[in-house]
């Protein structure tokens, strides 16, 4: 047992548990992690999900983008994270150009699950063919719409997505198609809060926001951003949870409670 909850010794959360959280209106908390030490700490606090993000390319490896991250990198860091957690649900990113075809996606997703211990894989964009094929193979999938870091060269910068009506309508349609293809979760990044709210209401699967307002079913932040460490500027949608914390564990717990109680993100962290 720990000071936060009595769930530390329970079996890992499942996609069924996450769906039930949405149905009863309980917010889902998520943080990124890339190693065993942070994984154990995040899990101890009671955070519901850990995303092993290809953001490791920037916060761990020092790159300017996520593009150099390989599937080998992702397997290694996912294995480190999965070995140390007891309860948190583990999602791992499929990195750049590892899901160009459905078969390629399945082979790389299998590595993340068999070798890394991931319970779900995440891919960017409305890749309906890949999502449907992965789900047919028994692989749980998390979609990702809005700002797509792997497409940064195409987007021309880190900008809010879905501000114009046509773009908003397309994103809602893409979200519905991802759900119909079998995705069990959806991440919305840098999306106007009103649009993210509408998508969250329209979908039956949980919608996790990052820079997408407080009305999503849950929130995710890059661990290094919310601890105010790293080599890059903290995004506007993040918050320095270390500023009023005595230690890292307290900062993570403050974030977890703020998400659960719909106190984060605030208006200043939204678009």
Read off the pLDDT band of 5 (50, 70, 90): low
Residue 103 lies in a domain: yes
Rounded-to-integer distance, Cα 4 and Cα 127, Å = 39
Rounded-to-integer distance, Cα 210 and Cα 30, Å = 10
Residue 3 lies in a domain: no
Question: Tokens 């079996």 sit at which residue?
Answer: 11
Q: Decide if pLDDT at 9 tops 80.
A: no
Residue 223 lies in a domain: yes
Question: Tokens 């929130």 sit at which residue?
Answer: 219
Residue 139 lies in a domain: yes
pLDDT tens-place string over residues 218-246: 999 999 999 999 877 889 999 999 999 99
CA 261 to centroid of chain Cα atoms: 19
| pLDDT, position 7 | 47
CA distances from 174 to 56, 124, 157, 206, 224 (A): 27, 11, 21, 15, 30
pLDDT tens-place string over residues 24-38: 999 999 999 999 999
Residue 23 lies in a domain: yes
Active site residue 189: yes
| pLDDT, position 27 | 98
| pLDDT, position 10 | 76
3-class secondary-structure state, position 143: strand
CA distances from 231 to 65, 104, 239, 242 (A): 12, 33, 16, 16
pLDDT tens-place string over residues 46-78: 999 999 999 999 999 999 999 999 999 999 999
Residue 6 lies in a domain: no
| pLDDT, position 197 | 98
Range(s) of the domain holding residue 71: 15-269
**Can you tell me the mean pLDDT for 109-129?**
98
Rounded-to-integer distance, Cα 201 and Cα 215, Å = 9
**Can you tell me the mean pLDDT for 245-270?**
97
Q: What is the DSSP string of 164-232?
A: SHHHHHHHHHHHHHHHHHT-SEEEEES--HHHHHHHHHH-SS-EEEESS-TTSSEEEE-HHHHTT-SSS
Q: Global pTM?
A: 0.96
Read off the pLDDT band of 153 (50, 70, 90): confident
What is the CATH number for 82? 3.20.20.60
| pLDDT, position 1 | 38
Residue 176 lies in a domain: yes
| pLDDT, position 152 | 87
State the binding site for Mg(2+): 54, 93, 124
Of the residues 26, 164, 169, 189, only one is catalytic, namely 189
| pLDDT, position 159 | 86
- How many CA atoms lie within 13 Å of 17's alpha carbon, on the beta-carbon side? 14
pLDDT tens-place string over residues 91-103: 999 999 999 999 9
Pairing label, strands 89-93, 49-52: parallel
| pLDDT, position 15 | 97
Rounded-to-integer distance, Cα 71 and Cα 93, Å = 9
3-class secondary-structure state, position 79: helix
Question: Tokens 């349609």 sit at which residue?
Answer: 173
State the binding site for 3-methyl-2-oxobutanoate: 54-55, 93, 122
**Can you tell me the mean pLDDT for 126-151?**
97
Q: Decide if pLDDT at 87 tops 80.
A: yes
Number of domains in the chain: 1
Tell me the torsion sign for CA atoms 143, 148, 153, 156.
Answer: positive
Residue 41 lies in a domain: yes
Helix axes 36-45, 248-260, angle to 10 degrees: 50
């Amino acid at each position: 047992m720990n000071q936060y909850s009595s769930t530390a010794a329970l079996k890992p959360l499942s996609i069924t548990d996450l769906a039930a959280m949405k149905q009863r209106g309980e917010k889902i908390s998520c943080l990124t992690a890339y190693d065993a030490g942070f994984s154990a700490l995040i899990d101890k606090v009671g955070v519901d999900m850990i995303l092993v993000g290809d953001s490791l390319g920037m916060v761990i490896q020092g790159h300017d983008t996520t593009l150099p991250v390989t599937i080998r990198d992702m397997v290694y860091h996912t294995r480190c994270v999965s070995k140390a957690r007891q309860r948190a649900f583990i999602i791992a990113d499929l990195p750049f150009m590892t899901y160009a075809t459905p078969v390629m996606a399945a082979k790389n997703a299998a590595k993340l699950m068999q070798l890394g211990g991931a319970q779900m894989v995440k891919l960017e964009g409305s890749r309906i063919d890949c999502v449907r094929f992965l789900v047919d193979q028994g692989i749980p999938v998390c979609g990702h719409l809005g700002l797509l870091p792997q497409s940064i060269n195409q987007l021309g910068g880190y900008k809010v997505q879905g501000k114009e009506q046509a773009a908003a309508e397309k994103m809602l349609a893409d979200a519905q198609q991802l759900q119909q293809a079998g995705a069990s979760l959806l991440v919305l990044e840098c999306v106007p809060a009103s649009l993210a709210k509408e998508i969250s209401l329209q979908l039956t699967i949980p919608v996790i926001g990052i820079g997408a307002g407080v009305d999503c079913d849950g929130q995710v932040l890059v661990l290094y951003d919310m601890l105010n460490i790293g080599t890059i500027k903290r995004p506007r949608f993040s918050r320095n949870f270390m500023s009023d914390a005595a230690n890292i564990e307290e900062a993570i717990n403050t974030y977890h409670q703020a998400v659960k109680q719909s106190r984060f993100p605030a208006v200043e962290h939204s678009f």
